[in-house]
């Protein structure tokens, strides 16, 4: 996909933003829902750019590496007097904790360095940068705040947020840095969510055979949280079933039926969340194909209760091959090699999802013996049903393309995204304190 030609933006009444390292556009979607106007989005992955361009026709999609001077010039031309710069630059050089190299000086963090440089060049009124929460445990938060201050030009505040505390049906923690230009004379906001992620968990009560939703710790006012969680018409805390229960009849069909009629896929909406996610769709719904799974996996899932995993399997189902069908690599031991908590995880309908990763087998349906569709992944990430995940039409290797094929790319795009509802909450907090 070649870079789009520059366009002139005449509307300045709305808060504008550019999204660096945008991926499939999770942050951009949340900010747009808050009323902000996207000017441009960039990413190295051509497939993610195809998704961004499809969903943000009002913005310019720029495909390529931000270390390329030509690309940076194009971005700066598009940004103009942008209000806010947002993005999640890859930041891999945690080794500086041991070798005393500053984060921004580590060669592995050259993209993070470009984010900081562009921030200094564009001088927006505010910025949002998100990253993995592990950054908070590695002792580099103060370094990052210092880098992002651009030599004192910005007041910066960092916080770790869990998407489940902001109406997303999934626990997903991110560290978020919000900065305001010092000329504004105000400090960045501090977000306070429901606190549900700290107060509620999935456990096995005494004398119970099945897992159930329980208090993980008592917090002030936590008694209301279980009430909110159980109420499908309360959108403050959302369960898996409240999110995707209207797609329960989807069946494994491979990837030949990725677009279907809405009436053939969705049942009646049974929650506020389901109704909100359907806004903007009409006759068809995309990304609903369910990948096939082999007979061995089906047999194992049949023995795992909702909320369970590999540890619930009886011994006869831990053999490497059960039905005689040989698949995958034979480890030679005669038993499964996937002996960890993340293997064969089934969702529990009465609480939010575990953190999704980039693969279709990261979670399985709580009732049907199947994987989830990309659409269900997207629902658990809080992407609305009108949001279509696609890939670049060009086949074969492309700069920035990750091997694995189109189907895997769609799961990866969703799994790597920032939940739009979390981004919308961040935008709302900024709007409360940042003047127009």
Residues 150 and 148: their CA atoms lie apart, in Å, by 5
Same domain, 22 and 99: yes
Structural contact between residues 310 and 276, judged by C-beta atoms closer than 8 angstroms: no
Contacts of 232 (CB under 8 A, 6+ apart): 242, 270, 271, 272, 273
Query: Residue 8 pLDDT > 70, yes or no?
Result: no
Same domain, 108 and 78: yes
Q: What is the pTM of this model?
A: 0.92
Query: Residue 347 pLDDT > 50, yes or no?
Result: yes
Residue 14 — very low, low, confident or very high, per pLDDT cuts 50/70/90?
confident
Same domain, 176 and 207: no
Query: Residue 196 pLDDT > 70, yes or no?
Result: yes
Same domain, 214 and 88: no
What mean pLDDT is predicted for residues 410-425?
97
Query: Residue 246 pLDDT > 80, yes or no?
Result: yes
State the CB neighbour count (10 A cutoff) for residue 223. Answer: 11
What mean pLDDT is predicted for residues 197-219?
73
Query: Residue 395 pLDDT > 50, yes or no?
Result: yes
Query: Residue 114 pLDDT > 90, yes or no?
Result: yes
Of the three residues 236, 263, 298, the one that is the final residue of a domain is 236
Structural contact between residues 5 and 74, judged by C-beta atoms closer than 8 angstroms: no
Structural contact between residues 251 and 291, judged by C-beta atoms closer than 8 angstroms: no
Contacts of 50 (CB under 8 A, 6+ apart): 1, 390, 391, 392, 393
Residue 219 — very low, low, confident or very high, per pLDDT cuts 50/70/90?
low
Residues 276 and 146: their CA atoms lie apart, in Å, by 39
Residue 211 — very low, low, confident or very high, per pLDDT cuts 50/70/90?
confident
E strands, 44-170, where?
Answer: 60-63, 84-87, 126-131, 154-162
Average pLDDT, the chain: 89
* Number of domain units in the chain: 2
Q: What angle do CA 232, 164, 210 make, to 5 degrees?
A: 65
With b meaning 16 or more CB within 10 Å and e meaning fewer, what string describes 163-190?
bbbbbbbbbbbbbbbbbbbeeeeeebbe
What mean pLDDT is predicted for residues 398-410?
93
What mean pLDDT is predicted for residues 140-166?
95
What mean pLDDT is predicted for residues 141-169?
96
Residues 404 and 216: their CA atoms lie apart, in Å, by 39
Phi, psi of 315 (to 5 degrees): -60, -35
Is 49 a residue of the active site?
no
Same domain, 46 and 114: yes
Query: Residue 208 pLDDT > 70, yes or no?
Result: no
Contacts of 374 (CB under 8 A, 6+ apart): 258, 287, 288, 289, 389, 410, 411, 414
Same domain, 127 and 228: no
Of the three residues 178, 212, 236, the one that is the final residue of a domain is 236
Residue 10 — very low, low, confident or very high, per pLDDT cuts 50/70/90?
very low
- Closest by CA to 350, choosing from 433, 271, 252, is 271
What mean pLDDT is predicted for residues 187-207?
87
Q: For residue 278, is it within any domain? A: no
Query: Residue 2 pLDDT > 60, yes or no?
Result: no
Q: Determine which of 42-46, 166-170, 200-204, 274-278 has the lowest per-residue pLDDT on average.
A: 200-204
What mean pLDDT is predicted for residues 222-237?
90
Structural contact between residues 289 and 254, judged by C-beta atoms closer than 8 angstroms: yes
Residue 202 — very low, low, confident or very high, per pLDDT cuts 50/70/90?
confident
Which pLDDT belongs to residue 204? 73
Active-site residue, from 50, 84, 91, 156: 91
Same domain, 82 and 164: yes
What mean pLDDT is predicted for residues 122-146?
90
Q: Which residue range(s) make up the domain with 202?
A: 195-236
Q: Determine which of 170-174, 200-204, 272-276, 383-387 has the lowest per-residue pLDDT on average.
A: 200-204
DSSP-derived secondary structure letter, 67: T
- Compute the residue count for the chain: 436
User: How far, CA to CA in Å, does 160 sit from each of 19, 26, 215, 411?
Assistant: 20, 18, 21, 25
Structural contact between residues 409 and 46, judged by C-beta atoms closer than 8 angstroms: no
Same domain, 120 and 217: no
Same domain, 100 and 154: yes
Same domain, 161 and 226: no
Q: For residue 348, is it within any domain? A: no
Same domain, 216 and 76: no
DSSP-derived secondary structure letter, 353: B
Query: Residue 112 pLDDT > 70, yes or no?
Result: yes
Q: Which tokens is 100 given?
A: 């005393």
Same domain, 207 and 86: no
Query: Residue 339 pLDDT > 90, yes or no?
Result: no
For tokens 């010092």, what's the residue?
182
Domain containing 38 — which CATH number? 3.40.50.150
């Amino acid at each position: 996909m070649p870079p789009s030609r520059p366009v002139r933006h005449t509307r300045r009444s709305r808060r504008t933003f550019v999204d660096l390292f945008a991926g499939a556009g999770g942050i951009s979607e949340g900010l747009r829902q808050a009323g902000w106007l996207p000017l441009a989005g960039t990413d190295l992955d051509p497939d993610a750019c195809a998704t961004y361009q499809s969903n943000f026709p009002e913005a310019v999609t720029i495909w390529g590496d931000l270390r390329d001077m030509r690309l940076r010039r194009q971005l700066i031309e598009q940004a103009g007097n942008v209000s806010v710069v947002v993005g999640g630059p890859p930041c891999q050089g945690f080794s500086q904790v041991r070798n005393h190299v500053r984060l921004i000086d580590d060669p592995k963090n050259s993209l993070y360095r470009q984010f900081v440089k562009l921030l200094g060049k564009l001088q927006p009124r505010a910025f949002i940068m998100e990253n993995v929460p592990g950054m908070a445990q590695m002792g580099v938060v103060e370094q990052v705040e210092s880098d992002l201050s651009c030599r004192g030009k910005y007041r910066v505040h960092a916080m770790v947020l869990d998407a489940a505390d902001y109406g997303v049906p999934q626990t997903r923690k991110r560290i978020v840095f919000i900065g305001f230009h010092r000329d504004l004379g105000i400090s960045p906001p501090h977000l306070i969510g429901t606190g549900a992620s700290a107060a509620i968990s999935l456990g096995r009560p005494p004398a119970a055979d099945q897992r159930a939703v329980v208090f993980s710790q008592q917090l002030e006012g936590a008694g209301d949280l279980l009430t909110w969680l159980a109420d499908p018409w309360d959108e403050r805390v959302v369960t898996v079933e409240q999110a995707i229960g209207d797609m329960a009849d989807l069946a494994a069909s491979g990837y030949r039926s990725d677009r279907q009629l809405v009436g053939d896929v969705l049942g009646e909406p049974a929650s506020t969340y389901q109704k909100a996610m359907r806004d903007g769709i009409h006759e068809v719904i995309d990304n609903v194909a369910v990948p096939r799974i082999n007979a061995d996996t089906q047999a194992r899932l049949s023995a795992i209760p909702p909320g369970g995993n590999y540890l619930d399997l009886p011994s006869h189902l831990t053999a490497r091959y059960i039905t005689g069908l040989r698949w995958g690599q034979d480890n030679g031991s005669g038993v499964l090699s996937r002996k960890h908590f993340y293997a064969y995880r089934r969702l529990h309908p009465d609480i939010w999802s575990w953190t999704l990763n980039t693969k279709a087998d990261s979670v399985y349906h709580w009732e049907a013996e199947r994987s989830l569709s990309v659409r269900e992944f997207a629902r658990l990430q809080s992407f609305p049903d009108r949001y279509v995940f696609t890939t670049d039409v060009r086949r074969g290797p492309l700069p920035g393309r990750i091997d694995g094929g189109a189907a895997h790319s769609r799961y990866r795009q969703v799994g790597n995204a920032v939940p739009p509802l979390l981004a919308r909450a961040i935008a709302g907090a900024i709007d409360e304190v940042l003047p127009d």
